[in-house]
Amino acid sequence: MTIAPAKPKRARATRRKAEAGGFKPLKTERLTLRPLRPADAESMHRLVNDWEVTRTLAELPYPYPRDLADEWIASTAKQLAAGTGYHLAITGHEGKKETLVGVVGLRIDPAERVGRIGYWVGRAYWRHGVATEAASRLVSWAFANLPVDRITAEVAEGNDASVIVLGRIGFRPAGHATRQSLLHEAPHEVALFEATRDDIFGKLEAPPDAATIPGAKTLLLVVACALVDVDGRVLLARRPEGKKMAGLWEFPGGKLNPGEMPEAALIRELKEELGIDVTAACLAPFAFASHDYGSFHLLMPLFICRRWKGIPTTREGQTLAWVRAAKLAEYEMPPADKPLIPLLREFL
């Protein structure tokens, strides 16, 4: 079924609906990544109905029918609402005028916690770093905000530009596969790539001032707190985009400063991270985590706190969630935190 391009008022309503649904357009230095709108169909068709653009995109036909642009944009809104696909317009600005220059998308498999990225840019905007800038922004946002631990990509044979783009972002080669294309009758070979949050944000490393034991690994001592409210819920914080292990949920806390005691460090961290005041008398030692991260070993005492002053509020860009004990295991956490979940669940 063909969906006619929207009138301006309807386009504005679509935009408001998408943003009200929880997706805020992503910004870079030069670009905006936002949900596609019906009014984008004409521009999108003009850009993608180009053999030089389409020939490396296995899932697009050529010529690209005009009405297919309307239908596909409508389908992206449904995927966005369902959380299974994030297909975004790549737009730039020429003065005050917004210009569509391409599309970047991510399909999600929540059961496998895997995403697959794809992108294309209009030929007039090639060799300007648009694909790298847009794909990098979406990948970084996805690891920090979506249920994915790995993002994959496929590049058709001969598409050296996309190989360069993925390498710049942080993707690693992951082999080859054979795929069927809408453009070619015979199967063709594609190069596979993948990235984890460690590839994008870097691996967690011990700070230079962490304690060292002669002949042994660096020992990093951190402290964490399970804040428990009157309903028995535990506060978790999601590490924000750009930080190591971004997107994972953890107990509030942090590393000790030189000479600092665990309780003092936790009182300081809770004030800095959440804006709440806690006294040492309200911190009850509960358990500890001991985990080997490869380049260092982490030791983390976990305290329980039921009384504090103030309302926990995000201060460092993290997302907060009050979680029932029975639901804690549903939140993806760093390896060191996971063994503490069964203990907390049994205790609460």
For the chain, the distance separating the N- and C-terminal CA atoms, rounded to the nearest angstrom, is 53
Farthest CA pair distance, the chain? 73
Residue whose token pair is 């969630």: 321
Q: Give the model's pLDDT for residue 182.
A: 64
- Topology of 8-201 in CATH? Aminopeptidase (3.40.630)
Write the CB contacts of 338 (distance below 8 Å, at least 6 apart in sequence): none
The CATH code that applies to domain 211-347 is: 3.90.79.10
Angle between helices 66-82 and 8-20 (to 10 degrees): 30
Whole-angstrom Cα distance, residue 38 to residue 67? 11
pTM equals 0.84
Q: Where are the domains of the chain?
A: 8-201, 211-347
Contact 67, 74 (CB under 8 A): no
Contact 153, 132 (CB under 8 A): no
Per-residue pLDDT of the chain (348 residues; tens, 9 = 90+): 222 233 334 434 444 444 435 689 999 999 999 999 999 999 999 999 999 998 888 788 889 999 999 999 999 999 999 999 999 999 998 777 899 999 999 999 999 999 999 999 999 999 999 999 999 999 999 999 999 999 999 998 889 999 999 999 999 999 999 887 766 666 888 999 999 999 999 988 777 766 655 566 788 999 999 999 999 999 999 999 988 999 999 999 999 998 899 999 999 999 999 999 999 999 999 999 999 998 899 999 999 999 999 999 999 889 999 999 999 999 999 999 999 999 999 998
Secondary structure (DSSP) of 234-296: EEEEEPPTTSTTTT-EE-SEEEPPTT--HHHHHHHHHHHHH--B--GGGEEEEEEEEEE-SSE
Q: Give the model's pLDDT for residue 44.
A: 96
Whole-angstrom Cα distance, residue 63 to residue 51? 8
Same fold across 8-201 and 211-347: no
Alpha-carbon distances, residue 216 vs 296, 297, 299 (angstroms): 9, 9, 14
Whole-angstrom Cα distance, residue 273 to residue 270? 5
Contact 232, 324 (CB under 8 A): yes
Q: DSSP label at 327?
A: G
H/E run at residue 30: none
Write the CB contacts of 185 (distance below 8 Å, at least 6 apart in sequence): none
